[in-house]
Each structure stands twice: as C-alpha cells, then as structure tokens.
Structure 1
Amino acid sequence: MSKNIIITGTSRGIGFELVHLLADQGHNVLALSRNAKPISNLHFDNISSFSFDLCNEDDYQKVVDFVKSEWNHVDVLINNAGAILNKPFAETTFKDFEKVYRTNVFGVSELTRTVLPFMKSDGHVVTISSMGGIQGSMKFPGLSAYSSSKAAVITMTELLAEEYKESGPQFNVLALGAVQTEMLEEAFPGYKAPTTAIEMARYIQDFALTGNKYYNGKVLQVSNSTP
C-alpha cells in the first residue's frame, strides 16, 4: 500500500537517492530542499517538490498547504537535511553555531511540529543524526557545532516518543557513520567511506517503512567505521 512520505535535504546524497527508491516503490513523496531543481528535473508522477528552507519560517506554511490540498495525511517524515561546519572552536562564532542549529535542531523541531497534526497513530518520524552525536563515541576537532547539534536531536526524539507514546506516531533516530557523500567530503576531506549514499538510502528506506513496528524513542547506530 502506498504511503505519503516527506523527505528533507533531497538535492544530493542520501536524500536524493531516498526520494527515488521510495517513488520507485510506488509511494508518494514530497521532496524538500533549498534547491528544488535536481528533483524537479526528474519526472515521476508521484514525486512532488518545491523549494523549502528549514531556516525560513514562512516556508512551513507551504508544507501545510500542500498536505491539505494533495494528501490529507502524512505517513512518514524523514528529517534528513543537515548543515555541517568544520572549523576550529576558537574561530566558531555565535552566528556559526546558530546557523548549524537552525537547520539541524530548530528546523527538525519545527517541521516535525508542522507535520504532526497530519500523522496517524502508526506514523513514523525518522531523524537522521550522526555517530558524532552519540555520547561516548569518537569525536573530531572542528565539529563542535555539528556534532553537538546531532546530539540534540537524539534527545529531542526520545522526548517526543515519550510525549506521544499513547497517541502515536513513533519517533526514531538513525545515527549514521561515514557515508560517501559531498557532506562527508566537507567534514573529512579525502576520506573514503566504506558505504555509498545509495546503500545507506536503501537501509533508511526499509527502516522508515517498517522500523516503527519494533522501535520507538530509540537511536540506532548505523556505522561500520570510524569516522
């Protein structure tokens, strides 16, 4: 049975692959990214897309209007978009931290809050975090804003699962290890990851559709390497 699925951060990498994997399965996908062009160039009847910036408060109404007019309900929300900053802490300004947190924490929170009224009891909110956000995991210099923001959404997910445990939907986090994407290249220039974007997208695809039968309020560490 086809589901209505919203994915952020779809212009490249894992998000781009996810959109097409899920659309190929017959699901209806709303692909959100600041740059809508890569998605809109590919003609699938069941993919919708428009430009959406997690940091722009006015853009959230566009999501509400779309769901009301096209779908009525949302089955799965995948918070995949992320901003990365690799900079020595001594040079990281208030504005730098704010920019990363606006996308990685506040944006995840606001889009989730926006979509929740349209989700059923068996809906699934999947947030993509990072191994860098796991307490006790190996940490790397220069990623103070990024990794701490990824830790924040893990705790937020646990809180939402608790708050909505009677009514649903379910909330889970996937903390990803290294995946060969443009974002990885920004964080670790020259590092070659053992996992490709399409391989990780296939894992997330399956988890988003079925993981909430087995998990709620959990963080799964999806990593086979360090970083």
Structure 2
Amino acid sequence: MKSKNIVITGTSRGIGYELVLLFANAGHQVLALSRKTPQELINHPNVTCLAVDLTNESELEQVSGFLEKTWKKVDVLIHNAGSLLHKPFEQITSTEFIRIYQVNVFAVASLTQKCIPFMSKNSHVVTISSMGGIQGSVKFPGLAAYSSSKGAVITLSELLAEEYKEQGIAFNVLALGAVNTEMLQEAFPGYQAPVSAKEMADYIYNFALTGNTYFNGKVLQVSASTP
C-alpha cells in the first residue's frame, strides 16, 4: 500500500499510542499529537511528535505550520484524544463540564479546521466516540458530561460529511464500547473491559485506511458488549 500521511491525537498512551506504532511500522508517515511524547515514538523514523494541548488554539498553529511546510497533504485524520469524567451530575462544576467539551468536541472541530485545507478526494476523518453517545443506547450514571459530549461529536461528524462530500472527504465515527485503557481504569478502578487497546487499535487502523470506500457520514458501533 502506498504510504499515507496520518494525523492522530491522544498518542501518549492507550489506543492512540498503539495506532501510531501500527501506522508507522507499516511504512506510513504519522504526525502524533499529545501533551506528552513517549520516547519510543520520538525515536521512530516515520513519526513526528508535536507536544500540543488540543484545547489551545495558538498551540494548534504548530500543526498548521508543520502541514504547510512539510507534508502539504493529509490522507487520514484520527480524532482519538478524549477526556473522561466519572462524577455525579449534581457535583459536576461548569468548569469541569466545559473542559470535557473542550477536549471531546471543540478540539475536534478546531483540528479539523486546521487539516481540511490539506485534505482532498479520498481523505478520511475518523472520530472516536463512545457507545454512551449513541441515542437509545444504555446509559451509565456519572457520565453526563462525557457521554453527552460524545453525542455532540457524532452530530458534528454527520454534518461535516454532508458539507464536504463534494470534495470527496469522508467523515465517519466509531462509537466504541469499553476498552481496557489507562483512561478507563482511572475513571473506573478495577473494571476490566473485554477489549485491549491493541485489539481496538487494530480495528481502527484498518477502518481508517479503507472505511471511506464504503462509508461516509456513518456511525459504526464497535462493541461486543454493554458497556
């Protein structure tokens, strides 16, 4: 397969980290975006790491600068970064609510705006959402901010698929069930999800490269269980 330029967020650990290695080891060029940069990724010849706070508009300019000067094009953008808050609704502060939306929704919109000028026909934007954001799915107490933000980003992706369909840029969402990541363990200590970060990364890897051939503006539920 011809080498592609892949932008991935939330790459310091979990699914994002595994995705970077999958793409880079397969010969693709990867721009890894996270606040922390693991040494293994920094040392990989096919990986460029940028230490970026996705909620900081000025820091996102680093991405625009890199794309304009170096790559000139983006083939795949994977919005993997996320923030999870497990807390009773009445105890969630407005600051906490806003922070969840800044990471899970506003940052997705902002980074997409930075990448769109470098995307063309057959480019693919994949947003990682959650089963909790699916209308009619089983909901869990304590996830008001998180799940509602994941629902918002689903609608955003559907709208962008319509807005950019004439340009041939596909937008799809993968709504994941529980994956055994550090983020999940921090929010739900002791809970063992049935799928590992590596296993989910394998699925996302293949979908990011080929899913736009069959889907645009779709939400695929990727879960073998509830949650």
| Match in the other structure for 1:3 | 4
TM-score of the superposed pair, with normalisation by structure 2: 0.97
**Take 2:193 and 2:40, find their aligned partners in 1: how far apart are those partners?**
29
Query: Where do 1:121-140 residues align within 5 Å?
Result: 121-140=121-140
CA distance in 2, matches of 1:222, 1:73: 29
CA distance in 1, matches of 2:39, 2:158: 32
CA contact 1:10–1:39 (8 Å) conserved in 2: no
Map 1:74-93 onto structure 2 (within 5 A). 74-93=74-93
Q: CA deviation at 1:186?
A: 2.5
- How many Å separate the matches in 2 of 1:58 and 1:9? 18
Match of residue 148 from structure 2: 148
- Higher mean C-alpha deviation, range 24-33 or range 179-188: 179-188
| Structure 2: segments with no counterpart, 5+ residues | none
CA gap 1:39/1:33 in 2 versus in 1, 3 angstroms: farther
Structure 2 counterpart of 1:12: 13
Which ranges of structure 1 fall in alignment gaps of 5 or more residues?
Answer: none
Please give the secondary structure, in 1, of the residue aligned with 2:140.
Answer: coil
Find the counterpart in structure 2 of residue 182 from structure 1: 182
Aligned to 2:36: 35
Aligned pairs for 1:187-226 within 5 A? 187-226=187-226
Q: 1:50 deviation in Å?
A: 1.5
Q: 1:217 Cα deviation (Å)? A: 0.2
Aligned equivalent of 2:71: 71
C-alpha contact 1:8 1:31 (8 A) present in aligned 2: yes
In the TM superposition, what is the alpha-carbon distance from 1:187 to its structure 2 partner? 3.0
